[in-house]
């Protein structure tokens, strides 16, 4: 993804985050340490640990993206130095991301197009690989701890298959349906502020 990541991981990182569709299951953690112990027992590969992420969501003054069920986010990650442009929607599984090298320039370009930062989220995130899947362990102030299990693909026909595989992996990690979170972090933050 960038020169701050170990070069031996670069091909695997790119493989994990390529695709225009994402199957993602999010779970609210009731016991972060127990979840971590179960994940650690599976010997995951570490992409990064305890990065601080700052997400800035952009939209037009009329909220045209939100009304179309789309989101546009610029993400900065430290200390990894990863910077991403992320677009989701309008379909639930539609997600594309690209590395960028200049956040200030990207934000300026969006401003020129009439978009403004309408919402910001900060979180602490660790990312792990288990085979073809990637898992994130997130902590958000005011919201708590979460685990996301995901895979990206260009093959839309595989989405239901991957969802079943992720549900099985979640069960192996001790996660259950009562912990599922169907709202995005943005939706959860907006609910908290309402």
- Residues annotated as catalytic are 57
Selection from 1, 22, 5 nearest residue 83 by Cα: 1
d(CA 84, CA 86): 6
Alpha carbon distance 188, 194 (integer Å): 10
Residues 21/154, Cβ–Cβ less than 8 Å? yes
């Amino acid at each position: 993804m960038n020169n701050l990541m170990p070069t031996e991981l670069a091909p695997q990182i790119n493989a994990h985050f390529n695709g225009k569709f994402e199957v993602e299951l999010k779970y609210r953690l009731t016991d972060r340490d127990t979840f971590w112990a179960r994940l650690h027992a599976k010997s995951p590969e570490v992409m990064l640990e305890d990065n601080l992420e700052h997400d800035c969501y952009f939209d037009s003054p009329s909220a045209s993206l939100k009304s179309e069920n789309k989101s546009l986010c610029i993400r900065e990650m430290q200390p990894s130095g990863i910077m991403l442009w992320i677009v989701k929607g309008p379909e639930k599984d539609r997600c594309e991301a690209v590395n960028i090298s200049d956040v200030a320039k990207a934000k300026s370009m969006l401003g020129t197009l009439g978009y403004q930062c309408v919402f910001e989220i900060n979180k602490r995130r660790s990312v792990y690989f288990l085979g073809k899947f990637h898992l994130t362990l997130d902590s958000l102030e005011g919201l708590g701890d979460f685990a996301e299990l995901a895979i990206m693909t260009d093959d839309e026909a595989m989405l239901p298959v991957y969802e079943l595989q992720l549900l099985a992996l979640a069960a192996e990690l001790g996660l259950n349906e009562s912990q599922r979170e169907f709202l995005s972090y943005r939706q959860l933050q907006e609910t908290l502020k309402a």
